[in-house]
Structure 1
Amino acid sequence: MRPGARWIAALESGTMLLVLAGLWWLASHQEWVGKVFLPTPEATFRSLAEGIVDGKLAAFTAATVQRMVLGWLMASFAGIALGALIGISAGARVWIQPTLEFVRPLPASAVLPLAISIFGLSPGMVLSVVAFGAMWPVLLATVHGFASIEPRLREVCAALEVSRADFIWKVGLPSAMPDILAGMRLSMTVSLIVAVVGEMIASQAGLGQAILLAARSFRASELFAGIALLGLIGFASNALLAAAEKKLLIWQKP
């Protein structure tokens, strides 16, 4: 994308954001929706600032980000390792792919009762569910990336008697990297969602618990402040991964 096109896209996005903020301000001040359910932007930003200054909201945010990142790293490592082992073998794909397609649509929240029975209401339980839910985009993307390797590369490596480990490391992973990075970006979003849901259900410290308590107490400004923080976390993490992907895939530029 040309620099001028980037600026135009950024301007259009900023304009849309300002329009939505203006509609929020108008709806809350005109009380189209009761302030118990829709606080004003000023009240939300005030609650956000107060929560960060007194440290409570900052601590909740740090707990959620830590849980999200750890779960994402575990999911990425497991997804890439398993995906490479499955994707490198056509026979393994034939046998395992149907099972993966059966388990993949299973919501991570549906696994929470099983995880609670195994780990109890503990931080490890939430982390395990986050890793489980976030693993599938990386695993399936890795399988697809390895399955899409140019057949002539496989033939050349077979003729040179390249070992399976060397083929995975030197040929498979570089070829599958675009798919893997796309899966990791999606996985990061899933890990944030599952971390928040797990905090709500398991009563673990984090933004999920803070949002749930604010909703039960009808503290709308604190509820919206927590939601705004989740949006910022998601935006920042996606931007960082997009920048890393751009650097790692610079060789793809024509």
Structure 2
Amino acid sequence: MNTPAHMLKRALQWVEPVLVLLACLALWWFASHGEWVSRVFMPTPEATWDSLRSGFSANPGADSADLRVASWQTFVRMLLGWGLASLIGVALGALIGMSPVARDWIAPTLEFLRPLPASAVLPLAISIFGLSPGMVLFVVSFGAMWPVLLATVQGLANVEPRLREVAAALQMSRTAFAWKIGLPATLPDILAGMRLSMTVSLIVAVVGEMIASQPGLGQAILLAARSFRASELFAGIVLLGALGFVSNAVLATLEHRLLRWQRP
């Protein structure tokens, strides 16, 4: 119900984060203009904004990265890796989570592989795929798969016992139980794992671009850092933050709509 108190509460939910963001921008402005840190390493907000405008202009300068193209390349790489990771994570998680025997046998292996950072797999991926886009996609998928996989396994393992009793009374097959009861009941866990997976895929995509010299925001940031172009470096960081924020917001909105049945 849209009462004045409810509307005021919703407005404050937006105002407070905006005030925190403005405070951070003000601190950045004072730190850069007061030269608390050398401008070689910390540009002003105005210089960063100019680099953003130049990078998104139709004809960026010879020394400026085309941030439109770089942002799109990173976004596509992140999205492909996340999609592949989600597909594999849900499929493997369903196979493992539906079988207590499989969980008992495979759980130690999962616990061994799960803590491995994706960057540790880069040398192996490079030896297999070389410095190619396929290598980066493999590493992104590997790093982003674990939140979805583990969330699916955990969700299916903790399905309400009464639902299993109903499925047994109806003589449902294991596949039918997974499609009609197990996965829908596990959907909140899966969606939470997919949101975390999206963040991981962005991080690993950027690291892969830096190490494998693949075009994207990661490479643009690395080249700016090596050339001491601090404003372009900060512009790339701002774009990465914006990309992560928008991606998470879209997934949060989809999650909110898909889980409407949970709300009273």
| Shared fold per TM-score greater than 0.5 | yes
Tell me which stretches of 4 or more aligned residues in structure 1 moved more than 4 Å: none
Gaps of 5+ in 2: 61-65
Is 2:163 the partner of 1:153? Answer: yes
Is 2:17 the partner of 1:7? Answer: no
Is 2:61 the partner of 1:38? Answer: no
Shift of 1:95: 1.2
Q: Which residue of 1 aligns with 2:24?
A: 20
Q: Which residue of 2 aligns with 1:63?
A: 73
Taking structure 2 as the reference length, what is the TM-score of the superposition?
0.94
Is 2:54 the partner of 1:50? Answer: yes
In the alignment, the residues of structure 2 paired with residue 106 and residue 9 of structure 1 have an alpha-carbon distance, to the nearest angstrom, of 37
Task: Note the 1:84-95 alignment, pairs <5 A.
Answer: 84-95=94-105
Q: Which residue of 1 aligns with 2:63?
A: none
Taking structure 1 as the reference length, what is the TM-score of the superposition?
0.98
Q: Which residue of 2 aligns with 1:213?
A: 223
In the alignment, the residues of structure 1 paired with residue 252 and residue 11 of structure 2 have an alpha-carbon distance, to the nearest angstrom, of 17
Cα deviation digits, residues 197-222 of structure 1 (max 9, x gap): 00000000000000000000000000
Shift of 1:159: 2.2
Aligned length: 254
- Aligned with 1:235 (options 225, 245, 259): 245
Residue aligned with 2:41, SS: coil
Identity %: 69
In the alignment, the residues of structure 2 paired with residue 153 and residue 8 of structure 1 have an alpha-carbon distance, to the nearest angstrom, of 41
Is 2:108 the partner of 1:98? Answer: yes
In the alignment, the residues of structure 1 paired with residue 158 and residue 262 of structure 2 have an alpha-carbon distance, to the nearest angstrom, of 16
- Aligned with 2:178 (options 168, 174, 198): 168
Is 2:120 the partner of 1:116? Answer: no
Task: Report the RMSD for the aligned CA atoms in angstroms.
Answer: 1.1
In the alignment, the residues of structure 2 paired with residue 131 and residue 3 of structure 1 have an alpha-carbon distance, to the nearest angstrom, of 41
- The letter for the 1-side match of 2:120 is A
Cα deviation digits, residues 51-70 of structure 1 (max 9, x gap): 01136110000000000000
Gaps of 5+ in 1: none
Sort the Cα spacing of 1:126 and 1:16 in 2 relative to 1 into closer, same or farther, 3 A. same
